Chain A
Amino acid sequence: MTDKNNSADEIAVEVEYVFKHFNAFQAVSDLSFCVPKATCFALLGPNGAGKTTMMNMLIGRILRDKISHSKISVLGYDPNKNELEIKYNTGIVPQENNLDVELTVIENLMVYSKFYGIPKKEASKRIHELLSFMELSEKRSSLIKQISGGMQRRLIIARALLNAPCLLILDEPTTGLDPQVRQAIWDKLRILKASGVTILLTTHYMDEAHQLCDNLLIMHQGKKIIEGNPHNLIRDHMEAYVLEIINKQLFNDTYCNTLRCERTATRLMLYTNQFEDLQTLSKTFGAADYVLRPTNLEDLFLKVTGRGLNDG
């Protein structure tokens, strides 16, 4: 049941050749990745790419297709057989908030500490620590309806941390939150990672993935597109700079012959490694008509997953 050897001790999550279909729909297809302990890993992809399905397969909420050589190992356990052992050692932050709205902040945590079998005295101490870690101590006796969305999100993270998990799985942890809360949550996640917790997250925010993650995987329509360290990925797959021309009608297309260019309905993007070329070019525009900047993860994401909408 637990096939642990020396190398596996350094690995928190191992996914190999995993497929999942729902009737005719192929949600995940030939996915493999590996998350070393005490690192942060992100699954990125457009809506419907299969990120949440993959996360749910790790904790046995969704059972992967039975295919030979297909394997998932989470903390040394197979989620199709040992979901309880995995869930006991893993904190899970779901996409949708699911706090008990009838209960107060502290009661929510108390009830969950019972699910993990934490003795009452120890639970009180732990809850006290977590509320102060998540900066919720003042709201301990408030009802869930009385606290803001950002506080609810922090409370869900606190709830996921109750049993001192060695793996934390977060499905879009900061969607819909203001910049202050987002940055505060990023800080907490960095602290947790430094204390040895392995973090796995999905996100639509490329800056979030870039800031937090040691490695990431971009998936599209259930398949892996690219995987690696965010800096390396940008270096290897993108030009260093981009000139974004905000109104493409201001520009004649002749440069598209020499530079890689992408068009949207209103904008034109010119990519190159030569900063000076773009700088020279930009002088022909008014200051409000262009942005000249280094390329980032979002540029890469759009390059590899396409600019079409994926919510159809």
Chain B
Amino acid sequence: MMDKRGMEKRKSSPPSFFHRVYSVWYRHIRVYNKHLISNGFPPFLEPLFFIAGIGLGLGNYVGLIGDTPYLSFLAAGMLAPPAMFTAAFECTFGTFIRLEFDKAYDGMVSSSLTVSDLFIGEMLFAGTKGLFFSFAVLTIFMIFGLIPSKMGLLTPLIGFLSGLMFAALALFVTSFVKTINHFNFFLTGCLTPMFFFSGVIFPITNLPYPVQIGSEIFPLTHSTRIIRACCLDALHWSLLWDLLYIIVFTIIIGWLAISRLRKRLIQ
């Protein structure tokens, strides 16, 4: 019954960092997949509404941006925000609920995990959701022929990286938040302007210069730029700066977020 002999054969040191982070990721995937239909279907639905609304309506009013038909320009841009929104929601509301209401983290850090494992695993999960959401939108757009370049297939990878980046940002915000309502400031005050001023629906080059500087600070600007370049076959070395921005932002903000959240879980 309580046979310990079988267990003692196994090496008795904690699993490696890689395994620990993977186990957190696995836990989130298992919970997410419990509601596979309600979690997995809407990401495909949203771009269909987009095509119906914009393609049939707005598309007729706008001509070319540069040499690109507006619809292609917009479709390429619209591939960026889903990863942002899904990662940001996951690591604000989702994280806060696990932290304060479900007490899921209390159990997890009492098992063989550290606080860093917990949140790095969480970021990877948000990155995976970013990948999946970008993939869903890409699939629909490709079916409707809105993505002219095969390089567009790289979009989910950028979706993964933006998922990580916005998970880091959202965790950083969550580390300050005392009640769940505070997230409204982040969503309205931060994500909404990012959606409009990151070159998703119109090029930022048309904006006044100071606003252009501001939008260079927005993380979404950089993922949008890379994704659009992939979709419109306009890859250029300068995009490495955008990639570097994403990586550096993720590391610095992610590190700050985890340090602050550690103080919340370990007193």
Q: Give the B-binding residues of A (Cβ under 8 A).
A: 22, 59-63, 83-85, 87-89, 92, 94, 96, 98-103, 107, 110-112, 114-119, 122, 125-126, 129, 132-133, 159, 161, 163-164, 191-192, 195-196
Contacts and interface: CB of A to CB of B under 8 A. Distances in A.
B106 A94 contact: yes
Given A122-B6, A195-B4, A117 B112 contact: yes
Interface stretch (B24-32, B51-59, B177-185, B250-258): B24-32
Contacts of A161: 2
A164 B1 CA distance: 12
Given A112-B107, A117-B14, A122-B10, 12 more contacts: A61-B109, A87-B14, A94-B107, A96-B103, A98-B102, A116-B15, A116-B111, A117-B15, A133-B1, A133-B2, A161-B2, A164-B4
Interface residues of B, number: 39
B256 to A, nearest CB: 20
Contact of A94 (B10, B16, B110): B110
B154 to A, nearest CB: 31
A115 B24 CA distance: 7
B247 interface: no
A159 B111 CA distance: 9
Contact of B31 (A22, A62, A100): A100
B30 A107 contact: yes
Nearest to A118: B10
A22 B263 CA distance: 13
A89 B102 CA distance: 25
A111 to B, nearest CB: 5
A202 B12 CA distance: 27
Contacts of A22: 267
Contacts of B19: 117
Contacts of B102: 98, 100-101
B103 A115 contact: no
A195 B24 CA distance: 31
B143 interface: no
Contact of A87 (B8, B31, B112): B112
Interface string B235-267: 000000000000000000000000000000111
B4 A61 contact: no
B104 interface: yes
Contacts of A192: 2
B20 A115 contact: yes
B114 interface: yes
Given A22-B267, A117-B15, A117-B19, A59 B110 contact: yes
A61 B110 contact: yes
B178 to A, nearest CB: 16
Contacts of B114: 83-84
Contacts of B10: 118-119, 122
12 contacts: A61-B265, A87-B14, A88-B13, A94-B103, A98-B103, A100-B27, A100-B102, A107-B30, A114-B22, A115-B20, A115-B24, A129-B1
A141 to B, nearest CB: 13
A42 to B, nearest CB: 19
